[in-house]
Structure 1
Amino acid sequence: MTNPLLFFVELSRQPKWVVIWVAMLLAVNIASLLFWDEYVAKIIFATFLISATAMMLMFSMVGYQRVLGLAHILWMPLLYFVIREIPIAEGSYQAYLIMLAACNSISLVFDVRDVWLHFRSED
């Protein structure tokens, strides 16, 4: 098994835009702590922790591969809660939810593509 902390070493070897994108995803998901009084913020943060843990476990087993996108599978139901909350949210919380939904949705497009390519290449 690979040390899961080496994930960040492997990430730093990726193109600069990937490193920036991952840093932005981390920041926007962790920013849920700023809205801790909101129940959806708690769901966002819990989903982030579960996904990050899953990714570290997967990395320790298979290394840095496209299949790591599977760790974001919980972002699909998370988007349901976030999108449902946007119309009733207000101010900076609403802006945050819109940004989170946009960022995580874009990331899911990359993840679905990566996972598909991973399994397609193993045929």
Structure 2
Amino acid sequence: MKAMLDFLKHLIRMPIAVRMWVAVLMLVNMGAFFFLPRVEAWVVLGALVLGGVLQALIFSRKGFVRLLGLGHVHWLPMLVWFYSRIETIRLDPVLFGWILLLTMVNGISLIIDIADIVRYLRGEKHPAVL
């Protein structure tokens, strides 16, 4: 619990644009609750849990560093899987709209995450916020 509070303290110190982006990211992903019991919704919720676990492990060992982006790498196969099911997903226009929004938001986040991971590997290992 302390680690989670520490993580949130770091997040709150981020610029407002970053905090707003994280809020959008969470809201779009948690939209999965509206699509239960669809398999796509369960996959997104599972990805949220996995991401939380991965980021908690990274944060506990490294702190609030750019490497936290690794907590989202499993989104890539998820997005590919959605694409492979696009004909089925398209049959439900509301589900299709949510998956499209989710793909855009998570895709943008993945681009940011990859850039952050590369920056970390190139030596930017200091905490993103103090």
TM-score (norm 1): 0.92
SS at the partner of 1:121? coil
Letter in 2 for 1:8: L
Q: Which has the higher helix share?
A: 1
In angstroms, what is the RMSD of aligned CA positions? 1.6
Counterparts of 1:47 and 1:94, CA distance in 2 = 18
- Structure number with greater CO (CA < 8 Å, separation at least 6) is 2
| Per-residue Cα deviation, 1:47-100 (whole angstroms, up to 9, x for no partner) | 111111111121111110000001111111111122233333222111000000
User: 2:115 corresponds to which residue?
Assistant: 113
User: 1:34 corresponds to which residue?
Assistant: 34
Query: Please, which runs of 5 or more residues in structure 1 have no aligned partner?
Result: none
Answer yes or no: is 1:14 the counterpart of 2:17: no
SS at the partner of 2:64? coil
Counterparts of 2:107 and 2:76, CA distance in 1 = 8
Q: Do the aligned partners of 1:83 and 1:101 also contact (CA within 8 Å) in 2?
A: no
Counterparts of 2:112 and 2:94, CA distance in 1 = 27
| 1:71-90 matched pairs, under 5 angstroms | 71-89=71-89, 90=92
User: 2:56 corresponds to which residue?
Assistant: 56
TM-score (norm 2): 0.87
Among all aligned residue pairs of Structure 1 and Structure 2, give the percentage whose two residues are the same amino acid. Answer: 30
